[in-house]
Amino acid sequence: MKVAVVGTGYVGLVSGTCLAEWGNEVVCVDKNIDKINDLNQGRLPIYEPGLDVLVERNRAAGRLFFTSDLARAVEDAAVVFIAVGTPSRPGHGDADLTFVYMAAKEISTHLAENAVVVVKSTVPVGTGDAVEKIIATKRSRDSFSVASNPEFLREGVAVKDFLKPDRVVIGVSNARARDVLMTLYCTPLEEQNTPIVITHRRTSELIKYASNAFLATKVTFINELADLCEQVGTDVRDLALGVGLDSRIGTSFLNAGPGYGGSCFPKDTLALLRTAQDHGVALRIVEETVAANEARKRKMALKVLDAVGGNVDGLTIAVLGLTFKPDTDDMRDAPSVPLIETLQRFGATVHAYDPIGTENAARILDNVKLYDDPYACAHGADAVVVVTEWDSIRRLDLGRLRMVVRAPALVDLRNAFEAGAAEKAGFKVSAIGRPANRQLEEDNAVPLQLDSAPAPIVRNIVETMGR
């Protein structure tokens, strides 16, 4: 099937490449000529594990093309995906649909007969209706269809999420669109028994926002429980495991940390709230989730202050990990940014390291010295703060790290290290959801015989939670 994808950002590039991997002829189009030139030379605008291999393979096979010529991309395409950005409007919180509507207008004169236009971008309820009206100004309504097919891609594992999804959601208003999209998805996913949800277009649009709001709430819930764990002398990792193994709850997104960030949760929760307000509906839980998450990001700076005695003025703080999560170069709404800004306002000098995200971080952070080596970053630091749990950071030699710092404060906002190992290396550890006073934890410990416990199994479960 010939497929066109309008937009070569994160969603468009991953979706287009994976559709080509399934054997379709895919043309990705973007107005940014420099980006198209880079893509045609094998240079990707984003970091996503495994994506570069798929792009090269499908370009070589003649299934994947990149162009700035919209007419070439859209003509003869049975399906046209709109996968452009929908950022939050500054000061409003609702999704800016400028690019979606512009794409709809521009493709309207090039659509093939009976083409299905699919909104892949995350959009508020009713956007598909508006797209249909825009296209209908140029074409007869019975010559095209508009559908909703939200993406559920997690950065860092997006290729797997597309090729082996938990489910596919398709929102349609007629049988023709349903049949075309079922053909597109059914054959490659048939052996996987992937659930395909066929629903109304508006319901499909709302499913994406509801999913992200629920997951954001889950993250915020475990973060608040982590604060309680610190005060009562318990370990949030054990709590999360005990709660998450309930099949009704699940272990994913129960890793306590400095707050959620990224391209989806922050903007999608705000957009959902704006939609609810526009319709006179109160979403109190989502409102509190957004407020609690924003407060938490800056609260993490106070955790650093506590670790160094209450004052960072004149001190050097080394921040390890800048992106909002591992295995991505995405700095959008990353918790590291408000943490660093708050520490700077308190008078700290900040050094920072990230294995992939340094280039994007440099565009956002001011007066931060960026390093390409974690030990050089920590050299002479009065505290080391772990913000993103990259595997390369988890594997750091703690003994070597202790030798290069000036003071032994280690603030582990991702529980990347075992406290015992870090303390053995000479660090004073302040972690998330664990008592600040290790003696309190020891005093409250029950003298259980754990030698025969299936520790590797439990450890594997803990390490995969939230990923």
pLDDT in tens, 19-77: 999 999 999 999 999 999 999 999 999 999 999 999 999 999 999 999 999 999 999 99
- DSSP assignment, residue 454? -
Cβ count within 10 A of residue 231? 10
**CATH number, domain at 282?**
3.40.50.720
Q: What is the pLDDT of residues 356-412, one digit of tens each?
A: 999 999 999 999 999 999 999 999 999 999 999 999 999 999 999 999 999 999 999
pLDDT of residue 186: 93
Asked whether residue 446 carries a pLDDT value surpassing 50, the answer given is: no
Q: Token pair of 26, please?
A: 């895919």
> What six digits make up the tokens of 209?
């926002």
* Confidence tier at 92 by pLDDT (50, 70, 90): confident
Six-digit token pair at 9?
Answer: 């950002």
| Together in a domain, 189 and 217 | no
Q: Range with the lowest mean pLDDT among 163-172, 252-261, 352-361, 439-448? A: 439-448
Looking at the fold, whether 124 and 226 belong to one and the same domain comes out as no
Same domain? 189 vs 286: no
Give the pLDDT of residue 438: 52
- Indicate whether 112 belongs to any domain: yes
Nearest to 401 by CA among 380, 418, 420: 380
Q: Do 190 and 219 reside in the same domain of the chain?
A: no
Residue 60, domain member (yes or no): yes
pLDDT 10s digits, 103-156: 999 999 999 999 999 999 999 999 999 999 999 999 999 999 999 999 999 999
201 in a domain, yes or no? no
Residues 174 and 304 in one domain: no
What is the token pair recorded at 167? Answer: 């489910």
Which residue range forms the structural domain that includes residue 29?
Answer: 2-194
- Model pLDDT, residue 164: 96
Rounded mean pLDDT of 283-311? 95
Q: Could you give the 3-state DSSP secondary structure of residue 30?
A: coil
Query: Which helix (DSSP H) or strand (DSSP E) does residue 177 occupy?
Result: helix 175-189
Closest alpha carbon to 251 in 234, 262, 237: 237
**Which residue among 18, 28, 229, 264 is the active-site one?**
264
* Distance in angstroms (rounded) separating the CA atoms of residues 324 and 256: 14
Q: What is the dihedral of CA 154, 159, 162, 166, to 10 degrees?
A: -60
Query: What is the rounded CA–CA span in Å between residue 214 and residue 211?
Result: 5
Q: Sheet holding 349-353: strands in order across? A: 368-371, 349-353, 316-320, 383-386, 409-412, 428-431
Domain contains 394: yes
What mean pLDDT comes out for the span 350-361? 97
Active site residue 264: yes
pLDDT at 436: 63
Would the pLDDT of 306 be above 70? yes
- Is position 200 within any domain? no
According to the model, what pLDDT value does residue 449 have? 44
Provide the domain count of the chain.
Answer: 2
Structure tokens at 366: 């001011």
- Token pair of 85, please? 């950005």
Same-domain status, 317 and 458: yes
**CA-closest candidate to residue 85, choices 74, 70, 96:** 96
Same domain, 185 and 259: no
194, 224, 255 - which closes a domain: 194
The pTM (predicted TM-score) of the whole model is 0.89
User: Does residue 298 share a domain with residue 250?
Assistant: yes
Which residue is it, tokens 């408000």? 338
- Residue 419 has what pLDDT? 76
State whether 185 and 242 are in the same domain. no
The string of pLDDT tens digits covering residues 451-466 is: 444 444 454 554 555 4
pLDDT digits (tens, 9 = 90+) for 194-251: 999 999 999 999 999 999 999 999 999 999 999 999 999 999 999 999 999 999 999 9
With 80 as the cut, is the pLDDT of residue 447 above it?
no
- Measure the CA–CA gap between 116 and 121, rounded to whole angstroms: 15
d(CA 430, CA 446): 22
Please say which residue of 128, 159, 194 terminates a domain. 194
Mean pLDDT of 403-431: 95
CA distance 444 to 428: 20
Cα–Cα distance, 171 to 125 (Å, whole number): 11
More confident residue, 441 or 298: 298
pLDDT for residue 123? 96
Do 111 and 179 sit in the same domain of this protein?
yes
Does residue 330 form part of some domain? yes
Report the pLDDT value the prediction gives residue 440, as an integer from 0 to 100. Answer: 42
